[in-house]
Structure 1
Amino acid sequence: MNSTIVSRLDVTQIFCEVDDFYQTFERHWQQQMLLTASCGERLCRSRLSLSEVMTIVIAFHGSGYRTFKEFYTLQVLPGWRQAFPHLVSYTRFVELMPWSLMLLCCFVQTRKGEVTGISFIDSTPIEVCHPKRSRSHRVFEGMVGWSKNSVGWHYGFKLHLIINDRGELLAFKLTPGNVDDRKPVPDLTQDLIGKLFGDRGYISQELFEQLYQQGLELITRRKKKMKQQLVKLIDKILLRKRALIETVYDQLKNISQIEHSRHRSIWNFLVNLLAGLTAYTYLPRKPSLDLEPKGLPALPPAVF
């Protein structure tokens, strides 16, 4: 089962693109003397390159394994030795993962989708532990907060995401769970134009005017007590399709597994999140609205 799920991601393609990015990044970094310590030694020394670390971490999020330890010990070590001849032990690999954080953060920016003029925004909680264990939680102490949605209360972070009508990632941001959904919107929408569809949590006249000045129209459902306004039919239809972004969140959590409560460090939590987002961009089929224009059907031959 697991080998079938792994085939959803082309690991060869991922490694080639990651390695090309890593080579370019390292070349520019070394030119500015940022990869060397005061004694002239490299900051990260390992027989396993960072591009290989990134590839393995990204591949995990399409593997179907529930834990990274199972994936590495049962899939990578016995089966990928030929592709990665310098594999290290699981413990050593976990130590190397934080070194790939900055590279993953930069690489995922290159995987953003195309701005099509139709965008959807929403947020989802990223729990770091069960709410009942929040008092004893220490790993993310001072970094997380409480949030509430239709499901209930959550303790952890909040992931803010913008996608286009093709299901491609356009922007994302991680905040504590108690941050208002509207606060990160200006930063997330700096490069967007067209129409942005969101739920009632994004209703704000000030935010609407701010986005409108940069060529982006914010469209949301009206609250029951608010005065109703005329809405274009196409906007009303697209507003009903806002569930597309919820489908993306479902894939990120249940396929890419960006959320679990087993993190022991903030750095590996961020690596897991960024690798999961990157893995999603490599899925061959993403949720989409299929708005591409289609050709007219061929006419039958005329009979004279």
Structure 2
Amino acid sequence: MSVLELFCAVDDFWLAFAPHWKASQLATGKQRLRPGQLCPSEIITILIHFHQSHYRTFKAYYTEHVQVHLRSEFPRLVSYQRFVALIASVQVPMLAYLQSQYGSCTGISFIDSTSLEVCDPKRISSHRVFATDAKRGKTSMGWFFGFKLHLAVNEQDDLLACCLTPGNVDDRSPVPILVKELRGKLFGDRGYLSAPLTQLLFEQGLHLITRLRKNMKNHLMHLSDKLLLRKRVIIESIIDQLKNISQIEHSRHRSPINFVVHLVAGLIAYSHQDKKPGLHLDQLALLAA
């Protein structure tokens, strides 16, 4: 997606969202916002495009690419320091825009979580930015300090839901709220294995399917469910793209709000990808099996 196409998509959303957002702000007693040199659509477009540009740092992207090559697209650019100060102002619109980019539930969903490390474990005692928010957690790769990103996707690799928790939160804790709008079958790894959770989701109209632990008795499973469990790796490929292409994980954050905004921008950038690693399944045949 080009910068122009991205801006058009963002601006169409902003024109529909802005009146409701401004009305809600006035209702809560906040003063009317003055128009800035850069409009919110331009700020959001630049933030999302950074995660599509393969630059490692936002500062290099803004100073070396935006201010050099995109001046015709953004004629009223501000300095890098001023732009960083403006990032927090688009947090709410970007969260709303992310929700507008969610795919539709097809009856086949996959769930997984990934760690977002915010600093080296050896520097935890001196870390200040997320000292009260981030927590120590453990994954199959070892201990980390930071957060967990929980994702739910369909078989077409469209995002269905996401949430952020401290690193010490159990993967099963946010699941009921995360997937409350989903129906059909939900496939996860052994970390989601729980009889109470399975029963709770079943009452919500969702069938949780996971692999069994080695010390558990085997049970019969539909062939289609067994095949789909093998395809659960598709969500891991999404996580890999988010971390290595969209750069949602690094240790250079200087503001919790900017961390959230850049995380949301990375998720939106993935949603706008032209090609996604979908499974291209015959879902009617699978659901009937």
Q: What range describes the TM-score normalised by the shorter chain of this pair?
A: over 0.9
Partners of 1:11 and 1:81 in 2: how far apart? 12
Kindly indicate whether residue 7 of structure 2 is the aligned counterpart of residue 15 of structure 1: yes
* Equivalent position to 1:173, from 157, 163, 177: 163
Choose from 262, 266, 269 the match for 1:276. 266
The separation in 2 between residues aligned to 1:221 and 1:122, in whole angstroms, is 13
1:209 and 2:204 correspond: no
1:236 corresponding residue in structure 2: 226
Q: Deviations over 1:227-260 (max 9, x none)?
A: 1110111101110111111100000000011111
Task: Please state whether the residue corresponding to 1:273 is helix, strand or coil.
Answer: helix
The residue aligned with 1:66 is 56
1:29–1:35 CA contact under 8 A, matched in 2: no
Residues 281-296 of structure 1: matches in 2 within 5 Å? 281-292=271-282
Q: How does 1:69-80 map to 2 (within 5 A)?
A: 69-80=59-70
Equivalent runs, 1:76-95 vs 2, <5 Å: 76-95=66-85
For structure 2, which runs of at least 5 residues remain unmatched after alignment?
284-289
Residue of structure 2 aligned with 1:48, choices 23, 26, 38: 38
Q: Alpha carbons of 1:41 and 1:197: their partners in 2 closer, same or farther (altered >3 Å)?
A: closer
1:223 equivalenced with 2:223 (yes/no): no
Q: Report sequence identity in percent.
A: 54
The 3 A distance-change label for structure 1 pair 32 and 216 is: closer
Map Cα deviations across residues 136-173 of structure 1 (whole Å, 9 max, x no partner): 11101111111112211111000000011011100000
Structure 1 position 146 matched with structure 2 position 146: no
Question: What is the rounded CA distance, in whole Å, between the counterparts of 1:292 and 1:80 in structure 2?
Answer: 43
Structure exhibiting the larger radius of gyration computed from Cα positions:
1
- CA displacement, residues 252-276 of structure 1 (integer Å, 9 cap, x when unaligned): 0000111110000001100110000
TM-score normalised over the length of structure 1: 0.90
Q: 1:27: which partner in 2?
A: 19
Instruction: Classify the secondary structure of the residue corresponding to 1:34.
Output: helix
Instruction: Answer yes or no: is 1:108 the counterpart of 2:98.
Output: yes
What is the aligned partner in structure 2 of residue 3 from structure 1?
Answer: none
The one-letter amino acid of 1:26's match is A
Specify whether residues 83 and 238 from structure 1 end up closer, same or farther in structure 2 by C-alpha distance, changes over 3 A only.
same
Q: Encode CA deviations 1:69-94: one digit per residue, 9 max, x unaligned.
A: 11111110111111111111111000
Q: How many residues align?
A: 284
Letter in 1 for 2:162: F
Work out the CA distance in 2 between the residues paired with 1:115 and 1:248: 17
* 3-state SS, counterpart of residue 26 of structure 2: coil
Q: Which residue of 2 aligns with 1:300?
A: none
Q: Is the 8 A contact 2:22 2:32 kept in 1?
A: no
Q: 1:270 to 1:32 in 2, by over 3 A?
A: closer
Q: Indicate the residue corresponding to 2:188 in structure 1.
A: 198
Kindly state the Cα deviation for residue 45 of structure 1 after the two structures are TM-superposed.
4.5
Amino acid at match of 2:12: D
Go from structure 1 to structure 2 and tell me whether the alpha carbon gap of 1:221 and 1:36 turns closer, same or farther (over 3 Å shift): closer
Deviation of the 1:214 alpha carbon: 1.7
- Report how far residue 33 of structure 1 moved: 5.1
- 1:203 is displaced (CA, Å) by 0.7
For 2:58, give the aligned amino acid: F
- Residue type of the alignment partner of 1:141: A
**How far 1:288 sits from its partner (Å)?**
1.2
Aligned 8 A contact 2:44 2:94 in 1? yes
CA RMSD of aligned residues (A): 1.7
Note if 1:187 corresponds to 2:177: yes
**Among residues 124, 142, 152, which one is paired with 1:134 in the alignment?**
124
TM-fit CA distance, 1:52: 0.4
**Amino acid in the other structure paired with 1:149:** T
- Secondary structure at the residue paired with 2:148? strand
Distance 1:255 1:102 in 2: 24
Residues 33 and 256 (structure 1 numbering): CA distance in 2 closer, same or farther, change over 3 Å?
A: closer
Partners of 1:291 and 1:109 lie apart in 2 by 25
